[in-house]
Amino acid sequence: MAIPNMRIPSRQLFIDGEWREPVKKNRLPVINPATEEIIGDIPASTAEDVDIAVKAARRALGRNDWGSTTGAQRAKYLRAIAAKVLEKRPELATLETIDNGKPWFEAASDIDDVVACFEYYADLAEALDSKSKTEVKLHLDSFKTHVYKEPLGVVGLITPWNYPLLMTTWKVAPALAAGCAAVLKPSELASITSLELGEICREVGLPPGALNILTGLGHEAGSPLVSHPDVDKIAFTGSGPTGIKIMTAAAQLVKPVTLELGGKSPLVVFDDIPNIDIAVEWTLFGCFWTNGQICSATSRLIIQDTIASQFLDRLLEWTKNIKISDPLEEDCKLGPVISRGQYEKVLKLISTAKNEGATILYGGERPQHLKKGYYIQPTIITDVDTSMEIWKEEVFGPVLCVKTFKTEEEAIELANDTKYGLGAAILSKDLERCERFTKAFQSGIVWINCSQPCFWQPPWGGKKRSGFGRELGEWSLENYLNIKQVTQYVSDEPWAFYKSPSKL
Ligand SMILES: NC(=O)c1ccc[n+]([C@@H]2O[C@H](COP(=O)([O-])OP(=O)(O)OC[C@H]3O[C@@H](n4cnc5c(N)ncnc54)[C@H](O)[C@@H]3O)[C@@H](O)[C@H]2O)c1
Ligand SMILES: NCCCC=O
Ligand code: NA
């Protein structure tokens, strides 16, 4: 794999189509989690910058070059962005890897998804033109009603660090397709590629203010965006505690929010699986992909007792075979977690599990061959009790906990024994059983005989404390549209509700 010798571009905030220094001129360090070195810095915005960006977004909506565009015109911008992202794929993947720590090939595949997502929402933007005005049949001839779908307005988009440019795209592409003007606040732990999206928007000539990108800390930049009175909606992806703060702040202004939060998703494995190695690989991928930092990670393995011992033996062999290395190295399959804070949090959850009586069957420590970087071995924990923290709390690291079951009823009960409801997976040859589990799982996503594959056409989101609202597919476009009822009186007759003065 040829990796270009990258330098982190030094950027300012992207506001009103140009690079602009934050009002307070502060910057935050960028840390490569594989080396723990500072590799650059990003601007730190505050409430003053938020206000400037929101005003720029509002102006964009009032100008013809953005506010009066058709879906077809916006589609051209989205396709131009997709083409530029594709052109810059190698460098964007490298920037993502040194900022986030995910293996380069995973980062490159995320960039492919980014391209596909912008193209997909370009198609939906075009299709919107024929759907933006629809007639609603009434029971009266004296009225005619139609419904307009129009851009919701200025939207605030707040994203996490685990799929930096992809999570940004899941929000930016549908928001622009709908015709909104957006202010994006990416995670302070991985903002580089979102800033590069600003440069791409500049290069393709996206009208000024249609997308503004403010990097910075959650409480300094995210919070004023949520509380800004001229922001019409907040779309948020991140942790549960931050989601609660955002929902509380938005409630003060009756501002709509969509929340994509954490998870503790189950993977139920039955003893009728036709091939143990295939099942074992999905189990690993379901939990250890993206260094275990996936909201929907199936981090609770619920395995039928009749094959548990054989399955765990094979799982151990596969786990030992995972290449842990600098994520820029070829064939790396597990890189570091995002930050020192996350590293310490994951190790603490593992040690608490041990103290509570669980068995660390494999891993649980820094890999011996890597002295620097926030690396944690893929970890498998058995003898888990449902009262333990490791069973209940999202780890967001490469940690799988295991419980066995005897009956279907027991498996369902264990699967749903969580406050979260994002994903759930079942591996079984019996498709009728898979159907029963699909109905019984309390989740927004179900995987059958796999775990984690994620496409841009179907809806994505959770229930319970994993949040509400759906991203991706046509569902996401609806998040950014106002539905306006227009009713016209078409009769020549007077309304005749009041007595006419002429008849007095
Ligand atoms: N459901 C999903 O689709 C999905 C996808 C990816 C990640 N996640 C979840 O995200 C979490 C990990 O991401 P994270 O650590 O970046 O989450 P986080 O909640 O710490 O931060 C997310 C974003 O919110 C901002 N923020 C923090 N405090 C804020 C405040 N008071 N007001 C406004 N914004 C604020 C942060 O700066 C960041 O941009 C995990 O829980 C994971 O499960 C969910
Ligand atoms: N594959 C994308 C998953 C997004 C959530 O973390
Ligand atoms: Na980083």
Full pLDDT tens readout for the chain, 504 residues? 445 456 799 999 999 999 999 999 999 999 999 999 999 999 999 999 999 999 999 999 999 999 999 999 999 999 999 999 999 999 999 999 999 999 999 999 999 999 999 999 999 999 999 999 999 999 999 999 999 999 999 999 999 999 999 999 999 999 999 999 999 999 999 999 999 999 999 999 999 999 999 999 999 999 999 999 999 999 999 999 999 999 999 999 999 999 999 999 999 999 999 999 999 999 999 999 999 999 999 999 999 999 999 999 999 999 999 999 999 999 999 999 999 999 999 999 999 999 999 999 999 999 999 999 999 999 999 999 999 999 999 999 999 999 999 999 999 999 999 999 999 999 999 999 999 999 999 999 999 999 999 999 999 999 999 999 999 999 999 999 999 999 999 999 999 999 988 765
Q: How far is the CA of 259 from the centre of ligand 1 (A)?
A: 10
Same domain, yes or no, for 416 and 365?
Answer: yes
- What pTM does this model have? 0.97
**Strand-strand pairing, 233-237 and 257-260:** parallel
Give the closest residue (by CA) to ligand 2 atom 2.
Answer: 454
Q: In the chain, how many domains are there?
A: 2
Do the domain assignments include residue 23? Answer: yes
Q: How far is the CA of 159 from the centre of ligand 1 (A)?
A: 6
Do the domain assignments include residue 178? Answer: yes
Cα–Cα–Cα angle for 262, 235, 127, rounded to 5 degrees = 120
For residue 101, give the amino acid letter: G
Do the domain assignments include residue 494? Answer: no
Same domain, yes or no, for 160 and 209?
Answer: yes
Same domain, yes or no, for 130 and 253?
Answer: yes
Q: Which residues line ligand 2 (CB under 6 A)?
A: 162-163, 294-296, 454
**What Å distances lie between residue 299 and 280, 281, 394, CA to CA?**
13, 14, 8
Alpha-carbon span 384 to 244, nearest angstrom: 29
Same domain, yes or no, for 291 and 344?
Answer: yes
- The closest ligand to the CA of 113 turns out to be 2
Instruction: Name residues with Cβ closer than 5 Å to ligand 3, which is an ion.
Output: 31, 99, 190
Same domain, yes or no, for 210 and 331?
Answer: no
* CATH number for the domain harbouring residue 226: 3.40.605.10
Do the domain assignments include residue 502? Answer: no
Do the domain assignments include residue 499? Answer: no
Same domain, yes or no, for 372 and 386?
Answer: yes
Token representation of residue 274: 């036709």
Same domain, yes or no, for 274 and 250?
Answer: no
Same domain, yes or no, for 146 and 234?
Answer: yes
For residue 438, the enclosing domain spans: 266-448
Do the domain assignments include residue 290? Answer: yes
Same domain, yes or no, for 297 and 415?
Answer: yes
DSSP 23: T
Do the domain assignments include residue 337? Answer: yes
**Helix, strand or coil for residue 441?**
coil
Same domain, yes or no, for 256 and 270?
Answer: no
Do the domain assignments include residue 289? Answer: yes
- The closest ligand to the CA of 262 turns out to be 1
**What Å distances lie between residue 64 and 69, 122, 125, 172, CA to CA?**
7, 19, 17, 20
Say whether 344 is catalytic.
Answer: no
Tokens 């929402």 found at = 121
Same domain, yes or no, for 27 and 171?
Answer: yes
Same domain, yes or no, for 318 and 248?
Answer: no
* CATH number for the domain harbouring residue 295: 3.40.309.10
